[in-house]
Amino acid sequence: MPTPRETILSALHARLSALPATALRGEVLPERVPAAGLLILRDGEPGAPEVTLSPLCYHYQHRAEIEAVVQGADRDAAFDALTASVGAVVSADRTLGGLCDWVEAEAPRPVDLPVEGAASLKAAVIPVVLHYSTSDPLS
User: How high is the pLDDT of residue 120?
Assistant: 87
Determine the 3-state secondary structure of 6 from DSSP.
helix
Burial bucket for residue 32 (CB in 10 Å: 0-12, 13-18, 19+): exposed
For the cut 90, the answer to whether the pLDDT of residue 1 exceeds it is no
List pLDDT tens digits, range 64-90.
999 999 998 899 999 999 999 999 999
- Decide: pTM greater than 0.85: yes
CATH code assigned to 4-134: 3.30.70.1700
Comparing C-alpha atoms, which of 58, 90, 85 is closest to residue 70? 85
For the cut 90, the answer to whether the pLDDT of residue 107 exceeds it is yes
List pLDDT tens digits, range 3-47.
999 999 999 999 999 999 999 999 998 888 999 999 999 999 999
